[in-house]
């Protein structure tokens, strides 16, 4: 056998599995067909979109507008060059850190497309046609996904883009239509809206982000509309056309939307087509997703694991990393404690949303008697100082056990603040934690204390 662990794909799950395997003293080869290591997360997904968001918020002065008004801007004429410059620096740094991590841990890497030849052997084909074969004891399929590109959408990187191509814009759109109000769609729609680009968001369903607490989503939609975004729910796209001077989206109800550019962000497909899964008896579904044992991440072929976006929901870099680590530990006989049931979900829209544990809809469905505590950021001194006039935290507690069941945030700092709720939930903490503990002042985290007291006032001392 050439390697104890062969990792196919160098995104978050592949990277973490590779390093974990190496730390256990195993020989590891990571193969990625991309030009540079890092996967979707580093090159087209998480890090680029978050860098873009940070740059937009900084240059537009978005965070200061609560004080200085909607017309406030730090930099008057923001160009695509301003956005891309920071992007490249951040990505270069990410790749460098990853390469160094592999080097320190003696993880070998190669650039090639991988195809299974059997349960212990793959072929590697480089861009220049060079062919080789490698034997392995265990493998991890960490090949991720790519944007779903229906044949009737005329992607041209001029007017019609997918989410990967949004990083190759030549100039900022004067107007933008975003098709698909999933996480990627709402992130890009709100980022461009923060640049004062008029944005229309189109979604065939009547609701968005269904896995998030409804009250949080309603507030989010209100905030988007309040700043002038057009949101068309229940609108199915019939046709998208690229015209010489604009793009045109025709809806099935006959209405048309004209804009300079269109971002088509309606789903992603697993990169399984050329992997030779049939050679190892593994099947993928219609969207290219592979089924695994949720505890071990083994596929139907026990020495071949799969992790990350290729196994479907939640399709996050954060969860992918953990999946990779768990798969590597299982492959080499390391027993881990069971994973906590809850993990945080972060949506880096403007404003941010983050959530952990059960939504109010889920708690209601379970029949548990519950109480809600709410704190608006504008009630906190930190909120006053920052000029934050929107956003809130919602906590759900069991009346019987007093335990925290769910924490949900929309607003500034949500994706950082959520970890307090996560720790309390996973450590079995109750409403009394928030009431009895001192929080730094002035902070947005104080909202936890305010929301805790809000619920406690109705729940009593128990």
Residues that bind ligand FAD (CB under 6 A): 8-14, 31-34, 39-41, 45-46, 49-50, 113-114, 142-145, 163, 184, 271, 274-275, 308-310, 315-318, 320, 346, 348
* Nearest distance from C-beta of residue 404 to ligand FAD, angstroms: 23
| Sequence-distant (≥ 6) Cβ neighbours of residue 310 within 8 angstroms | 141, 142, 143, 144, 145, 270, 271, 272, 288, 289, 290
Question: What burial class does residue 399 get, using C-beta atoms within 10 Å of its C-beta: 0-12 exposed, 13-18 middle, 19+ buried?
Answer: middle
CB of 143 to ligand FAD, least distance (A): 4
Q: Are 176 and 197 in contact (CB under 8 A)?
A: yes
CB of 453 to ligand FAD, least distance (A): 32
- Which residue's CB is nearer to ligand FAD, number 322 or number 454? 322
- Whole-number minimum distance, CB 162 to ligand FAD, in Å? 10
Q: Between 51 and 223, whose beta carbon lies closer to ligand FAD?
A: 51
Tell me if 360 sits within 8 A of 213, measured CB to CB.
yes
Cβ neighbors of 155 (< 8 A, separation 6 or more) are 149, 161, 162, 165, 264
Cβ–Cβ < 8 Å for 134, 121: yes
β-strand partners of 131: 125
Q: Which residue is nearest to ligand FAD (CB)?
A: 144
> In terms of CB distance, is 308 or 373 closer to ligand FAD?
308
Element (H, E) at 398: strand 392-398
Q: CB of 45: closest distance to ligand FAD in angstroms? A: 3
Identify whether the C-beta of residue 164 lies closer than 8 Å to the C-beta of residue 44: yes
Q: How far is CA 40 from the centre of its chain?
A: 11
> Do 176 and 198 touch, CB atoms closer than 8 A?
yes
- CB 381 → ligand FAD: shortest distance, Å? 29
Cβ burial of 415 (10 Å; 0-12, 13-18, 19+) is middle
Contact criterion met (CB below 8 Å) for 233 and 208: yes
Spatial neighbors of 109 by CB under 8 A, at least 6 apart, are: 10, 29, 30, 31, 32, 37, 102
* DSSP structure class, residue 301: S
Nearer to ligand FAD (CB atom), residue 58 or residue 250: 58
Which of 194, 405 has the CB closer to ligand FAD? 194
- CB closer to ligand FAD, 126 vs 336: 126
Nearer to ligand FAD, 324 or 373 (CB): 324
In 3-state terms, what secondary structure has residue 197? coil
User: CB-wise, 29 or 396, nearer to ligand FAD?
Assistant: 29
Q: Smallest gap, in angstroms, from Cβ of residue 282 to ligand FAD?
A: 13
Radius of gyration from C-alpha coordinates of the chain: 23
Between residues 307 and 459, which has the closer beta carbon with respect to ligand FAD?
Answer: 307
Minimal distance in Å, beta carbon 269 to ligand FAD?
Answer: 11
Of 17 and 431, the one with the shorter C-beta distance to ligand FAD is 17
8 Å CB contact between 176 and 259: yes
DSSP 246-275: -EEEEETTS-EEEESEEEE---EEES-TTS
Tell me the closest approach of the beta carbon of residue 299 to ligand FAD, in angstroms.
14
CB of 80 to ligand FAD, least distance (A): 17
């Amino acid at each position: 056998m050439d390697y104890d662990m062969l990792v196919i794909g160098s995104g978050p799950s592949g990277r973490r599995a590779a390093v974990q395997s190496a730390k256990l003293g195993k020989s590891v080869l990571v193969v990625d067909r991309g030009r540079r290591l890092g996967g979707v997360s580093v090159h087209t997904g998480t890090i680029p979109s978050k860098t873009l968001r940070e740059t937009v918020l900084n240059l537009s002065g978005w965070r200061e507008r609560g004080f200085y008004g909607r017309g406030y801007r730090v930099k008057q004429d923001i160009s695509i060059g301003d956005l891309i410059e920071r992007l490249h620096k951040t990505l270069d740094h990410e790749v460098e850190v990853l390469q160094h991590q592999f080097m320190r841990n003696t993880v070998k890497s190669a650039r090639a497309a991988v195809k299974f030849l059997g349960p212990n052997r793959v072929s590697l084909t480089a861009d220049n046609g060079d062919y080789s074969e490698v034997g392995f004891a265990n493998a991890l399929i960490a090949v991720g996904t790519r944007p779903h590109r229906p044949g009737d959408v005329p992607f041209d990187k001029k007017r019609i883009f997918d989410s990967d191509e949004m990083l190759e814009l030549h100039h900022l759109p004067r107007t933008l239509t975003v098709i698909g109000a999933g996480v990627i769609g709402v992130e890009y729609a709100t980022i461009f809206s923060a640049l004062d680009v008029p944005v229309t968001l189109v979604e065939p369903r009547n609701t968005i982000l269904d896995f998030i607490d409804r009250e949080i989503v309603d507030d989010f939609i209100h905030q988007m509309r309040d700043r002038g975004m057009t949101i068309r729910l229940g609108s199915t796209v019939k046709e998208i056309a690229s015209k010489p001077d604009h793009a045109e989206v025709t809806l099935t109800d006959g209405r048309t939307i004209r804009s300079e550019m269109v971002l088509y962000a309606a789903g992603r497909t697993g990169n399984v087509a050329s992997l030779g899964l049939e050679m190892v008896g593994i099947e993928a579904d219609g969207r290219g997703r592979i089924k695994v044992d949720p505890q071990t991440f083994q596929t139907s072929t026990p020495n071949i694991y799969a992790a990350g976006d290729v196994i479907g929901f939640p399709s996050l870099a954060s969860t992918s990393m953990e999946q990779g680590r768990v798969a590597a530990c299982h492959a080499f006989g390391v027993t881990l404690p069971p994973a906590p049931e809850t993990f945080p979900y972060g949506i880096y829209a403007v404003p941010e949303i983050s959530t952990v544990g059960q939504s109010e809809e889920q708690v209601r469905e379970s029949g548990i008697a519950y109480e809600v505590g709410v704190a608006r950021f504008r009630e906190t001194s930190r909120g006053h100082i920052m000029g934050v006039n929107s956003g809130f935290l919602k906590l759900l507690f069991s009346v019987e056990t007093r335990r925290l069941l769910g924490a949900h945030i929309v607003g500034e700092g949500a994706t950082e603040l959520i970890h307090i709720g996560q720790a309390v939930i996973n450590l079995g903490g109750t409403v009394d934690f928030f009431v009895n503990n001192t929080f730094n002042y002035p902070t947005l985290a104080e909202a936890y204390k305010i929301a805790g007291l809000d619920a406690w006032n109705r729940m009593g001392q128990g």
